[in-house]
Structure 1
Amino acid sequence: MTAIDYFANTDTVHIATTRQNGGEVVTPIWSVVVDGVPYVRSGYGPDSKWYRRVQRAGRAAFVDGSERYPVTVENLDDEETNAKVDDAYKTKYAAQASSLKDIVSSQARAHTMQVTPQ
């Protein structure tokens, strides 16, 4: 499976971020792919520890069993793309409507990151 396939076809992806002491933490989050590019959001904005760690480092890895997908992340500040990311989340996670509202909220939209597999 390629990294793009992982982001597109896996309901809950697992992001591995590094603590300041060097320890690794793996956190389950949601992801989408828009026009062949993966995106993730922090549904809780800057309050999420994984989000703060990835912002500090600018990189992370996604873990799928024994597979690791190293990535860099870049904050997204593009309304047109953010609208497409909203639509992708609504489509992919439609069955989880009670949690979906958090990931398409204005707070979450402000914490959208483009993921670039390395």
Structure 2
Amino acid sequence: MTAWTDEELARIGGAEELQIASLRADGTLRRYVTIWVVRAGQDLYVRSAYGADNPWFVRARASGAGRVRAGGLERDVTFELPDDDVHAEVDAAYHAKYERYGPALVRTVTGPHAAGTTIRLAPRGA
């Protein structure tokens, strides 16, 4: 398994938004979708603001892999389920980074309902 570098964590985790695309069965990328991204510890996380039925989230979970672009970087990733004990830290990261947009928006990606739509982004390959 490859780990994020400190530079990647800073640039991608510090980016306001991330573009994410999942892989199709034939290995080609789907269209990129723009979403929020947070860093918690040495990991990067995304959540579906519109629930587990959001098409990008369904495709990401089904494919298990894709590509992200943020902070001037582009990286192949796997989409992983996080450990259950990370959700409070991910919630705090979303609040710290995006609270300025208002509590109504941040609530879409925080709290117990959002935990089930959490994806840990893990770098794939070199």
Scaled by the length of structure 2, the TM-score of the pair is 0.80
54-63 or 4-13, larger mean C-alpha shift: 4-13
Q: Are the counterparts in 2 of residues 42 and 112 from structure 1 also a CA contact under 8 Å?
A: yes
Alignment of 1:1-118 (within 5 A): 2-19=7-24, 22=28, 24-64=30-70, 67-78=73-84, 80-97=85-102, 98-118=104-124
For residues 42 and 96 of structure 2, the distance between their equivalents in structure 1, rounded to whole angstroms, comes to: 16
**What code does the residue aligned with 1:100 have?**
V
1:99 shift after superposition: 1.0
Answer 1 or 2: which has greater strand percent.
1
Q: Are the counterparts in 2 of residues 3 and 69 from structure 1 also a CA contact under 8 Å?
A: no
1:17 shift after superposition: 2.1
**What code does the residue aligned with 1:103 have?**
V
- RMSD of aligned C-alpha atoms? 2.2
Q: Identity across aligned pairs (percent)?
A: 27
**What code does the residue aligned with 1:37 have?**
D
**What code does the residue aligned with 1:74 have?**
E
Give unpaired runs (5+ residues) of structure 1.
Answer: none
What count of residue pairs does the alignment treat as equivalent? 117
CA 1:89–1:64 in structure 2 vs 1: closer, same or farther (change >3 Å)? closer
1:43 shift after superposition: 1.4
CA 1:77–1:110 in structure 2 vs 1: closer, same or farther (change >3 Å)? farther
Deviation track 1:19-52 (CA, whole Å, cap 9, x = no partner) reads: 5685621100111111111011111122211101
